[in-house]
Chain A
Amino acid sequence: DTAVSQTPKYLVTQMGNDKSIKCEQNLGHDTMYWYKQDSKKFLKIMFSYNNKELIINETVPNRFSPKSPDKAHLNLHINSLELGDSAVYFCASSYGHSNTEAFFGQGTRLTVV
């Protein structure tokens, strides 16, 4: 009964490939996020979705395309992977318009070789 689950946990792939990371939450939250955590541990927001609608796109390259089929799912597809995309990607969810905790998934460590 994991609250926010991401798959896969580890992903190793070659430059130029296309890959997807899936995220699902069972908390009934209306807002989901994708964050990128680089080697220096900085947590940078990439996208925010509220009720399946894109709210925030933080100047992320258009090789990254989020998709939210319903408010419980937010998947991240990455085209033409580059070395600099190597990082840990965290999905999170919360109640968007109230001041409440955001819950994080366990993270996906993406390594591009």
Chain B
Amino acid sequence: GENVEQHPSTLSVQEGDSAVIKCTYSDSASNYFPWYKQELGKRPQLIIDIRSNVGEKKDQRIAVTLNKTAKHFSLHITETQPEDSAVYFCAAFKAAGNKLTFGGGTRVLVKP
């Protein structure tokens, strides 16, 4: 089955700096890669996603890149702000089997 690895598990950055989170997946049949942000005590919510026919996508301060050959994808947050502090999850989805598999999460702390 699919296995999604996420690194680092914790990330502390100074406000204004960039944050990068990296994920790898094992199943080449996975074709959709969402990123979720989970604030303390809240539900995970989608912040950006990328499909396997696209290599890069950007939405304001966040961007995601996908390398299908290497089976890895990354989240980039620029100009970090204290409200970016949360746990971020990458995930890989495979339509066959309706399975959305999550990475282990990265706890991001943005220090003012």
Contact = CB atoms under 8 A, between A and B. Distances in A.
A102 B34 contact: yes
A55 B97 CA distance: 6
A43 B43 contact: no
Interface residues of B, number: 24
A21 to B, nearest CB: 14
B18 interface: no
A90 B31 contact: no
Contacts of A96: 95, 98
Interface in A59-113: 90, 92, 94, 96-102, 104-107
Interface stretch (B19-27, B45-53, B58-66, B71-79): B45-53
The SS class assigned to the B binding surface is strand
B44 to A, nearest CB: 5
Interface string B93-110: 101011111101101000
B44 A104 contact: yes
A50 B89 CA distance: 23
Interface of A: 31, 33, 35, 40-45, 48, 50, 55-56, 90, 92, 94, 96-102, 104-107
